[in-house]
């Protein structure tokens, strides 16, 4: 860290010189050697000018981007007869700041034959899916496995959240029964 770079938010790597103990108190993510404070980790600096303390905020390695095999979750934004579009907001348990779009084609939606995409999901539903291809910068998704599919959905008649009952998804408010390709743990999340 150069003298004039001494502010919070500077990107540093392990071993990088942060200052000397005469100037700063070494905080978390730092170590001291021969009176010089170094960063122990990759991260960003946090300078507490009041207490003259330097700490490093760790950066999570690698920017989260859905890859082949990633389990993602997101909201269905558009449904056509043979495909649906998902706004991916989560990879595993990690919420994303960026926006990724996923495409689910009807042939990858279920192991059973599906006639029309509206029997798989509807706009507004939350789905869990697996990324099967990232060709042409599009995330192609599959929901055919048992644990994949709709995990939260809403009644197309009254908008109430559908609950999983013995015979499928049902609206507890108006009684409407709806078709979805739902995940085996629907409603338990």
- Tell me: does residue 176 bind Zn ion (CB under 5 A): yes
Q: In this structure, is the dihedral angle defined by the CA atoms of residues 100, 105, 140 and 93, taken in order, positive or negative?
A: positive
Per the structure block, which two tokens stand in for 99? 């926006």
Among 160, 168, 184, 189, interactor with Zn ion by CB under 5 A: 160
Which residue's CB is nearer to Zn ion, number 58 or number 168?
A: 168
Burial of 113-143, coded b for 16+ CB within 10 Å and e otherwise, reads ebeebbbbbbeebbbbbbbbebeeeebbbbb
- Tell me: does residue 155 bind Zn ion (CB under 5 A): yes
Which residue's CB is nearer to Zn ion, number 111 or number 174?
A: 174
Per the structure block, which two tokens stand in for 162? 């559908």
- Tell me: does residue 157 bind Zn ion (CB under 5 A): yes
- Tell me: does residue 161 bind Zn ion (CB under 5 A): no
- Tell me: does residue 158 bind Zn ion (CB under 5 A): yes
Distance of CA 115 to the CA centre of its chain: 30
- Tell me: does residue 109 bind Zn ion (CB under 5 A): no
Which residue's CB is nearer to Zn ion, number 76 or number 88?
A: 76
CA 131, CA 99: separation in Å to the nearest integer? 15
- Tell me: does residue 177 bind Zn ion (CB under 5 A): no
Q: In this structure, is the dihedral angle defined by the CA atoms of residues 26, 27, 32 and 38, taken in order, positive or negative?
A: negative
Selected range binding Zn ion among 47-55, 125-133, 137-145, 164-172, rule: CB under 5 A: 164-172
Tell me how crowded residue 38 is: count the other CB atoms within 10 A of its CB: 19
Nearest-approach distance from CB 135 to Zn ion, in angstroms: 38
Selected range binding Zn ion among 24-32, 68-76, 83-91, 159-167, rule: CB under 5 A: 159-167
Give how far Cα 147 sits from Cα of 24, 53, 129, 150, 183, Å: 51, 48, 9, 9, 5
Nearest-approach distance from CB 122 to Zn ion, in angstroms: 12
Which residue ranges make up the site for Zn ion (CB under 5 A)? 155, 157-158, 160, 171, 173-174, 176
């Amino acid at each position: 860290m150069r003298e004039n770079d001494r502010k919070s938010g500077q990107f540093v790597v392990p071993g990088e010189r942060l200052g000397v103990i005469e100037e700063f108190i070494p905080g978390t993510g730092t170590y001291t050697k021969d009176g010089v404070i170094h960063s122990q980790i990759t991260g960003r600096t946090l300078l507490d000018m009041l207490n003259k303390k330097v700490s490093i905020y760790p950066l999570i390695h690698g920017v989260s981007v859905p890859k082949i095999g990633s389990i993602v979750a997101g909201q269905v934004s558009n449904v056509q007869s043979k495909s649906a579009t998902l706004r991916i907001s989560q990879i595993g348990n990690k919420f994303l700041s960026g926006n990724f779009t996923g495409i689910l084609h009807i042939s990858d939606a279920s192991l059973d034959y599906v006639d029309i995409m509206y029997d798989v999901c509807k706009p507004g539903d939350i789905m869990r899916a697996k990324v099967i291809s990232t060709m042409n910068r599009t995330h192609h998704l599959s929901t055919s496995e048992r644990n994949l599919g709709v995990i939260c959905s809403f009644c197309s008649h009254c908008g109430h959240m559908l609950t999983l009952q013995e015979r499928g998804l049902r609206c507890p408010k108006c009684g409407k029964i709806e078709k979805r390709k739902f995940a085996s743990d629907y409603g338990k999340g």
